[in-house]
Structure 1
Amino acid sequence: MNPLELVEMEIRRHDWSAMLCGCGESADHVPALLLELAGQAEKGDGIGYDGVERHVVSPADMFLEPSLPVVSVIMAVLASRTPAYSRDAYTQMLLFILTADTQAPVPALRGRDVAAECEAEVRRGLWHLYAEVLSGASIDSGSYAYEILTLLEEDQERLKQLQGTAGERLPWDLRP
């Protein structure tokens, strides 16, 4: 299986050209950025997290039209066999999106609860975050995934069990 096949499939589900991007243009260039980041094996290989995040959430922490589709792409990344660095960048971006403060900066999002929509999308794939923590592939990605779980997981006993099971796969400040 192509490690990016799920990511490519999820990207194709969205009409990126109909969305206004954080850079002020159509978001039709965002899929290429997402695929580039998904294929990166190491920092410096390409665009990096900082090159994508400004297209998704504004500098004032406001949701933009591509926010929800990008969350669905991130969940596809977590379900794929993508390189460790790209997983780090994507889980960091997911945490950044989920902690954005402000709603509806653009007319297309007015009347929508984009934060709740993003959270619902992540909740559908919550087990991928658990797997990311326990994989031990990257302490960074695992810690971002754990922090996301602390925001969304309603079963605090399960979260406590995860923390104990993960042990040294989490950074010292997230361990029990």
Structure 2
Amino acid sequence: MTHQLDLVEMEIRRHDWSAMLCGCGESGGHLPALLLELAAQTGAGAGIDYEGVARHVISPADMFLEPTPPVVAVIMAVLASKTSGYARVAYLEMLLSILSADAQAPLPALEGRDVAAECEAEVRRGLWALCAEVLSSESIDARSHAYEILTLIEEDEERVERLQETAGERLPWDLRS
């Protein structure tokens, strides 16, 4: 692995993936390899895709799974790393899906936890990475996803308005006003 993914690898090592029940019904021990593979990809068709990873993280019924909060932390590490535009868009799409989920009752392993709030708090810690994505990404999809994520989690509406104003035509027309 290159130094470009050091932050991603560091974040992955912080979590006991094998102790988590994955969305595929097995131990989450295989997730680090999937997360790294997606982070290292440079284009579609080169290996695993967004949907291939997302099904391990959030159920088709929008139910949070045990790996969801740690995967959000990994996504924020991806955004702080020098990853390909393809990987960034894939991870931003996954993050948007997680934060937009109409979460059902939690799984027994998550009972008593507010997983949505945990995920939002993790994303708020990386707020500036999302702002930078909006302002500097070469990909319109990455800029759009990052901006939409910010509208979901940023509590300071003035900051979002200023970002929208600063981004101007870098945002798609439907996100400019």
Tell me what 1:140 maps to.
141
CA distance in 2, matches of 1:172, 1:35: 33
Shift of 1:103: 4.3
Shift of 1:136: 3.0
2:153 corresponds to which letter in structure 1?
L
Tell me what 1:52 maps to.
53
1:122 corresponds to which letter in structure 2?
V
Conservation of the 8 A alpha-carbon contact between 2:61 and 2:104: no
Tell me what 1:64 maps to.
65
Shift of 1:140: 0.5
Conservation of the 8 A alpha-carbon contact between 2:39 and 2:83: yes
Tell me what 1:20 maps to.
21
CA distance in 2, matches of 1:65, 1:40: 25
Shift of 1:104: 4.6
TM-score, normalised via structure 1 length: 0.97
Conservation of the 8 A alpha-carbon contact between 1:104 and 1:112: no
Shift of 1:61: 0.1
List runs of 5+ in structure 2 lacking aligned partners.
none
Per mean C-alpha deviation after superposition, the further-off stretch among 25-34 and 102-111 is: 102-111
Per mean C-alpha deviation after superposition, the further-off stretch among 103-112 and 64-73 is: 103-112
Tell me what 2:84 maps to.
83
2:176 corresponds to which letter in structure 1?
R
TM-score, normalised via structure 2 length: 0.96
Q: What is the aligned residue count?
A: 176
Tell me what 1:161 maps to.
162
CA distance in 1, matches of 2:5, 2:152: 27
CA distance in 2, matches of 1:68, 1:103: 15
Corresponding position: 1:151 with 2:156? no
Tell me what 1:93 maps to.
94
Structure 1 segments of 4 or more deviating over 4 A?
none
Conservation of the 8 A alpha-carbon contact between 1:104 and 1:111: no
Shift of 1:168: 2.1
Per mean C-alpha deviation after superposition, the further-off stretch among 159-168 and 8-17 is: 159-168
Conservation of the 8 A alpha-carbon contact between 1:64 and 1:104: no
List runs of 5+ in structure 1 lacking aligned partners.
none
Tell me what 1:2 maps to.
3
Per mean C-alpha deviation after superposition, the further-off stretch among 152-161 and 115-124 is: 152-161
Q: Percent identity?
A: 74
**1:18-64 CA-partner distances (Å, limit 9, x unpaired):** 00000000000011110010011111111010100000000000000
Tell me what 1:42 maps to.
43
TM-align CA RMSD: 1.1
